[in-house]
Structure 1
């Protein structure tokens, strides 16, 4: 039997988790927490919003993490006249150094017929790093 390797730990040192409060985004957070517990990943939770109650989202995150890891929580406010959620996430990724982005495949959109939402598609196609979409 060979010794286990921890190559995955190098792929997942710094993880970004965009959160919109949807169940899919919270499941993405669960996966990031698991990776952090297994591999020592540093997790940053990012909430991008225009007019939002970021304290409510932060409380959801706090309950979901339940003290299992230490994480950073960041809020980016934007104007829909000048940008979009996906543009703000991509800008943040490009300004920082992340090894992976873990996000919900579909957020709070009204149409339940979509398997993957527009923000997830845009980030997955344009991010310069690994993107894991969670359903």
Structure 2
């Protein structure tokens, strides 16, 4: 038998993970952490918010979820939602910094649980210039 190959690690060197506090976004974070542990991927977590009232709570949830398993960068981006959107702000990040992939929840904190894919996930899966992994 041959030695294991980590070819996939070249595809996922730098990963962006948008987290809104939803269970899907936290499962996406778990997957990114796993890639970080297995392949040495560098993980950047971004929380885009309008009022950012719950930013510290989100940060605490993330710290507990990661539990010092990997090193990561955290960005909290406050945005005027009348002038932009979460998807637009994440696309700006992708244009400013070289990422290999986005790992995100298929739907976030929207009220309607019958929707399989949220507007942010849909916009990013269509417009992002990198691999997008949607987690359900």
**Does the pair score TM above 0.5?**
yes
Give the superposition deviation at 1:4.
1.7
Structure 2: how far apart are the matches of 1:17 and 1:10?
18
Whether 1:85 aligns to 2:86 is yes
Q: SS in structure 2 opposite 1:69? A: coil
Give the TM-score of the pair, scaled to structure 1: 0.98
Aligned length: 135
Report the RMSD for the aligned CA atoms in angstroms: 0.7
Match of 1:60 in 2: 61
Give the superposition deviation at 1:81.
1.3
Q: Which runs of 5+ in 1 are unaligned?
A: none
Structure 2: how far apart are the matches of 1:129 and 1:48?
19
Runs ≥4 residues deviating over 3 A: none
Match of 1:23 in 2: 23
Give the superposition deviation at 1:3.
2.2
Structure 2: how far apart are the matches of 1:86 and 1:34?
24
Give the TM-score of the pair, scaled to structure 2: 0.97
Kindly report which structure 2 residues correspond to 1:1-135, keeping only aligned pairs within 5 A, or say none.
1-52=1-52, 53-135=54-136
Q: Which runs of 5+ in 2 are unaligned?
A: none
